[in-house]
Amino acid sequence: MEENYPEKRDGRKPAQQGHRKLDLAAHAAWLYYIAGNTQEEIACKLNVSRQSAQRLVALAVSEKLIKFRLDHPLSHCIALAEALRDKFALSLCEVVPNSADGSDPYSGLGVCAATHLETYLLAKSPSVLAFSSGRTLRAMVDQIPSMDQPQHKIVSIVGNMSHYGLAGRHEVVMHLSDRVGSQTYPVPTPAVATSVEERDLLQTQRSFTAVKALAEQAKVTFVGVSHIAWNAPLHEDGFINETELTELIELGAVGEIAGWAFDAQGMLLRQGTNTRVAGVPLQQPAQRLVIGVACGPRKTEAILAALKGQLISGLITDEAVATALLAK
């Protein structure tokens, strides 16, 4: 099994690597000393080998993170992550601290998500990795160092154009492919078609059916989770217009993943723009590992709904959102 923390490379600041390694050591120590997990259980939860889990616990001791309590600022986040994992039966959950100065909220989330993504990218065996789009996932890609991994297939599940051909600002798969040299499969459609007939025609094209088949084989899918509101990403980026946004709100939509809108219980809408979304359909409940990467108070209701509806089976979020989710 691949290590869950990378060796030093030029693509990432050494300080970030050191902090992330201590984060993992603190998490392993919490699971071992407080939650009573075995090393094998820790290895499974952190996606590392058993030997790595043992070294992480040893590192926590040598760095004096363990006294009569966990002497590390991430201890509260680890407890939040474990509570969320148990409450929503998640396969994976990570909570990152909120920045003390209120600076860019995407930075820490991007580093954390990139660490998990690197685990798959560094694997020698070929894998299909799927992605939606958005600012948070772009922050993740920005943390991935340059590497040469042509054996993997990087697949999009969402179109990156508006009705009128305007490209979205936060495309993911092409940028990731540029960094890692993997094969790239973008969705050859707009995010939302102008009519049901247009969507049906686009989805009969061989290029779309090939991408859809690959996405359905993905080992992991990373998705952004966004809210539905005025100037929310789906509207701000021009994928839907004001009339379509108003209709979604009236239908009870609170969030969207890859353009697919859902209500407060996480159920995908049967009306509105969902009848014309031209990307790869979401599974409900998710049948494979689908990791939602999202933060910020505006998205709390959408994230909660996605968890309730089992649209995601993993979550990487921030401390404030995690606290709010547990309170609800």
| Tens-digit pLDDT profile for residues 153-164 | 999 999 988 777
Token readout for 268 is 């995908």
Q: What is the mean pLDDT of residues 12-35?
A: 76
Which residues does 297 contact at the CB level (< 8 Å), separation at least 6? 320, 321, 324
User: Do both 129 and 17 map to the same domain?
Assistant: no
Say what the pLDDT of residue 250 is.
98
Separation between Cα atoms, residue 299 and residue 279, nearest integer Å: 22
Q: Are residues 67 and 109 in the same domain?
A: no
Cβ proximity of 156 and 129 under 8 Å: no
Number of domain units in the chain: 2
What are 84's two structure tokens?
């969320």
Last residue of a domain, one of 43, 72, 101: 72
Same domain for 96 and 63? no
Q: Report the distance separating Cα 230 and Cα 92, nearest Å.
A: 31
| Residues sharing a CB contact under 8 Å with residue 239, sequence separation 6 or more, in sequence order | 162, 168, 190, 191, 192, 259
| 64/12 same-domain check | yes
48 and 166 housed in the same domain: no
CA 179/CA 220 separation, integer angstroms: 19
> pLDDT value at position 187?
96
Are 216 and 265 in the same domain? yes
Note the pLDDT of residue 188.
93
Beta bridge partners of 161: 167
Domain boundary among 72, 104, 135: 72
Q: Which amino acid is at 207?
A: S
Query: What is the domain range of residue 33?
Result: 1-72
Model confidence at 2, pLDDT cuts 50, 70, 90, reads very low
- The CATH number for 59's domain is 1.10.10.10
What is the model's pLDDT at position 8?
Answer: 41
Q: What is the pLDDT of residues 65-121, one digit of tens each?
A: 766 455 556 888 999 999 999 999 999 999 998 865 556 678 889 989 999 999 999
> Are 62 and 180 found together in one domain?
no
The token duo for 282 is 């979401």
Which residues 6+ apart lie within 8 Å of 19 measured at CB? none
| First-to-last C-alpha distance (Å) of the chain | 36
CATH of the domain at 166: 3.40.50.1360
pLDDT at 270: 97
At 296-323, the pLDDT tens digits run 999 999 999 999 999 999 999 999 999 9
**In terms of pLDDT, which residue wins out, 30 or 165?**
30
Same domain, 223 and 140: yes
State how far Cα 155 lies from the chain centre: 14
* Same domain flag for 85 and 140: yes
Per-residue pLDDT tens over the stretch 50-65: 888 888 988 888 877 7
**Phi and psi at residue 292, to the nearest 5°:** -85, 130
Is residue 249 domain-shared with residue 287, that is, in the same domain?
yes
Q: Which helix (H) or strand (E) holds 315?
A: strand 314-318
Task: Give the β-pairing of 255-257 and 226-227.
Answer: antiparallel
- Do 54 and 196 belong to one domain? no
Quick one: 93 and 19 in the same domain? no
State the pairing for strand pair 128-131/153-156: parallel
Cα separation, 108 vs 97, whole angstroms: 8
Q: What is the pLDDT of residue 65?
A: 77
Q: Which of 314, 88, 30 is CA-nearest to residue 42?
A: 30
| pLDDT higher than 60, residue 208 | yes
Q: Last residue of a domain, which of 53, 72, 91?
A: 72
* Residue-wise pLDDT tens digits, 163-192: 777 777 889 999 999 999 999 999 999 999
Q: Give residue 118's pLDDT.
A: 94
Residue for token pair 């217009």:
241
**Statement: residue 241 has pLDDT above 50:** yes
